[in-house]
Structure 1
Amino acid sequence: MRENKVLNDKKIKAVDFFCGGGGMSCGMQQAEIDVLAGIDYEGACKETYETNINGAQFIQADVFELKEKELQKKLKLKRNDKNLLLIGCSPCQFWSIINTDKKKSEKSKNLLKEFSRFVKYFKPGYVVVENVPGVLRKKKESGLEAFIEWLECNKYKVHFEVHNTNDYGVPQNRKRFTLVANRVGKEKLFPVKDEGKKLTVRDVLGEKNGFPKVKPGHQDKTDFMHTVANLSDVCKERLTYVAKDGGNRLGFAHILRLQLKCFIGKDNCFKDTFGRLWWDRPSSTITTKFYSVSNGRFAHPEEDRALSLREGAVLQTFPINYKFIANSNGAIARQIGNAVPPEYAKRIGQAIIKNHS
């Protein structure tokens, strides 16, 4: 009994800021970290989060208004607790290289600074930050530089780098800035890397992996959600000219009635539009628009359609039984595309667990 109590006292407890639909929390739980709560401004994520992240509560809060003592009381947290992990994967549109409306996302540029407020108050044993690579390129403006300086001054060992999640068990090319800080051991911690073959689309999609062939507009009302966006007749015809296994829009560029007007005379740009995934390569980055063939290389390798919701989730390494709950397919796709791939989160958690044992 006493031995079990000692083990429980040493178990790492995590609070997941900007948790969304729970990708990071899911991976941390798979690494056997005790996730206490997820915090997010978007209440639409609550049902998905609480349905899948067993034992964790969803706290709907604006981090700009949430107070440190309020969170301390709500979750019964201790300050200077070496068994505490604080995670911050803030929405990152402002620092993304993708051409987004910066005015709409301007508030998000200060989310890292707000997260650091909680780190400075609680001074946990471990800190994890995951974001777009742009946050490192603009480390002064984003607040990252000052945050790292504070961590190092307070005796944290800090690893920070841009990683491709395909090196960590994710069948997808997805480059992400990752920071792992710890004040428990003397070594910097790195996500646990794959040494063998990297996963590709063929390893997780296709009929042999439980995905029957379907047509555009297919609706799957079960929790499996093999649901596919519909296509106009002209878009269906366009896809018939896109070569299987990695083809792109140049397959129909010579047919005037099918060519996209915005690309006339511009064959060398945005080739991924209407592009197919390759079977034997990792997928392109799964974005919030992965269910649309006109928003990137999101067409199935051989079927004339976009990826289904579940195919996008699997490429993000969500468990096959993970339930996504929202009021529209677009909202579900946003939960999937915005998430930290659970397998990548698990690899970060494993490094922390190994250091803590």
Structure 2
Amino acid sequence: MKVRKPRLKAVDFFCGGGGMSYGMLEAGINVLAGIDYEPNCKQTYEHNITGAQFIKADVFELQEQELEDKLNLTKNDDNLILIGCSPCQFWSIINTDKTKSTKSANLLIEFTRFVKHFNPGYVVVENVPGVLRQKKESGLEDFIIWLKENDYKVHFEVHNVAEYGVPQSRKRFTLIANRVTDESIDLIKSVERKVTVRDVLGQVNGFPEIKDGHKDKTDFLHTVASISEVNKKRLKKVAKDGGDRLGFANDTELQLACFEGKDNSFKDTFGRLWWDKPSPTITTKFFSISNGRFVHPDEDRALSLREGATLQSFPKEYKFYGTSTSAIARLIGNAVPPQYAKCIGEAIINNHLNAV
């Protein structure tokens, strides 16, 4: 008779609004806690991640023994998963000012402290591909060396989450380390056909047509930012279903000075999503038409908060809390897509079931 193994349990560092934690729960893993420094994550996390604690803490100050006592953790626990999905702006290829995110460059190094202390059965790291391109500077190289020296089987790869059931093209570095079995853990692609914008958005999927500036006071949050009159004129010239700003490039009244003579630069700005493709990467600015290809395929407006969350694969009942549109969009855009997190959790569970 095969002895039933104890349920896997996870601690989610840098948990944000709970995308990774929710996916782990959906896979069947018990999430003990989410840790984050941002207090605006707390209400969203606690409402949606059943049974988990939200621990507001700066990982630079949080001590290993403190976490051990708080969660009643033990060292060398084969059933424990430590997850580190640190904020990634510093290592992103997106051309943004890195000054504010400099501190985040060392978050992986801080996470390593806890892995070394607890020696868990499994370790997950999810981040932008930039941490791999700069693996020495980010601390990733030393982390992988330590894991291998301590008998972890380490698999890491850059995946596009669109290959795992998320209706969005989003490349992410993912590392899964395992010392419970002799097998390294990779993800199994979950879909034969990529999920598209048409599959999840539009009126047939419960998203009524709205105008820019619409405020949805229900938990559904089909709320969309206002746009200026001149931008409304611009959008009327952007072709439906995948059009871009070249639609108004020859209009002297509407063309922006910064784009004159630069038709092949930043073409996604003012661009529409395609119905029959996954969406582009949902960033924290997906509610703004001038920050990427975030215009609705047909309607003359940006994506709503709920549309952005849906493209991140959050279920429609997932409730977000925030003091502003931008605050909620930040929770959504920074999240690990829950469907992708579920695939990670399922891969770990399958490995664990094969342990002797």
Q: TM-score w.r.t. structure 2 length? A: 0.98
Cα pair 1:89 1:129 within 8 Å, conserved: yes
* 1:214 partner SS: coil
Give matches, 1:83-232, under 5 Å: 83-232=79-228
Tell me how far apart the structure 2 counterparts of residues 99 and 221 of structure 1 sit (CA, whole Å): 34
The CA RMSD measured in Å over matched residues stands at 0.9
Match of 2:256?
Answer: 260
Cα pair 2:32 2:52 within 8 Å, conserved: yes
**Paired amino acid for 1:189:** I
**Paired amino acid for 1:133:** P
Tell me how far apart the structure 1 counterparts of residues 118 and 190 of structure 2 sit (CA, whole Å): 33
Structure 1 residue 272 and structure 2 residue 268: aligned? yes
Cα pair 2:165 2:191 within 8 Å, conserved: no
Q: CA deviation at 1:318?
A: 0.4
- Deviation beyond 3 Å, 4+ runs, structure 1: none
Structure 1 residue 12 and structure 2 residue 8: aligned? yes
Which residue of the other structure, out of 312, 318, 332, is the alignment partner of 1:316? 312
* 1:49 partner SS: helix
* 2:286 partner SS: coil
- Cα deviation per residue 1:216-246 (whole Å; 9 max; x = unaligned)? 0011100000001001000011000000000
* 2:81 partner SS: strand
- Cα deviation per residue 1:52-109 (whole Å; 9 max; x = unaligned)? 0000010000000000000000000010000000000000111111112122111000
Structure 1 gaps of 5+ residues are none
Cα–Cα, structure 1 residues 195 and 232, in superposed 2: closer, same or farther, change >3 Å? Answer: closer
* 2:60 partner SS: coil
Aligned pairs, number? 352
Q: CA deviation at 1:115?
A: 0.2
* 2:42 partner SS: helix
Structure 1 residue 74 and structure 2 residue 60: aligned? no
Cα pair 2:121 2:178 within 8 Å, conserved: yes
**Paired amino acid for 2:310:** V
Q: TM-score w.r.t. structure 1 length? A: 0.97
* 1:130 partner SS: strand
**Paired amino acid for 1:263:** F
Tell me how far apart the structure 2 counterparts of residues 102 and 249 of structure 1 sit (CA, whole Å): 28
Tell me how far apart the structure 1 counterparts of residues 188 and 31 of structure 2 sit (CA, whole Å): 20
Tell me how far apart the structure 2 counterparts of residues 197 and 162 of structure 1 sit (CA, whole Å): 19
Match of 2:277?
Answer: 281
Q: CA deviation at 1:265?
A: 1.1
Q: CA deviation at 1:269?
A: 0.2
**Paired amino acid for 1:318:** F
Match of 1:295?
Answer: 291
Cα pair 1:191 1:347 within 8 Å, conserved: yes
**Paired amino acid for 1:324:** F
Tell me how far apart the structure 1 counterparts of residues 263 and 191 of structure 2 sit (CA, whole Å): 38
Q: CA deviation at 1:192?
A: 2.8
Q: CA deviation at 1:195?
A: 4.2
Tell me how far apart the structure 2 counterparts of residues 59 and 104 of structure 1 sit (CA, whole Å): 23
Structure 1 residue 58 and structure 2 residue 54: aligned? yes
Match of 2:17?
Answer: 21
Match of 1:41?
Answer: 37
Cα pair 1:192 1:350 within 8 Å, conserved: no
Tell me how far apart the structure 1 counterparts of residues 224 and 272 of structure 2 sit (CA, whole Å): 15
* 2:298 partner SS: coil
**Paired amino acid for 2:12:** D
**Paired amino acid for 1:75:** L
Q: CA deviation at 1:194?
A: 2.4
Tell me how far apart the structure 1 counterparts of residues 56 and 142 of structure 2 sit (CA, whole Å): 28
Q: Percent identity, please.
A: 72
**Paired amino acid for 2:283:** T
* More displaced stretch, 289-298 vs 96-105: 96-105
Q: CA deviation at 1:191?
A: 2.0
**Paired amino acid for 1:94:** F
Q: CA deviation at 1:261?
A: 1.2
Match of 1:249?
Answer: 245
Structure 2 gaps of 5+ residues are none
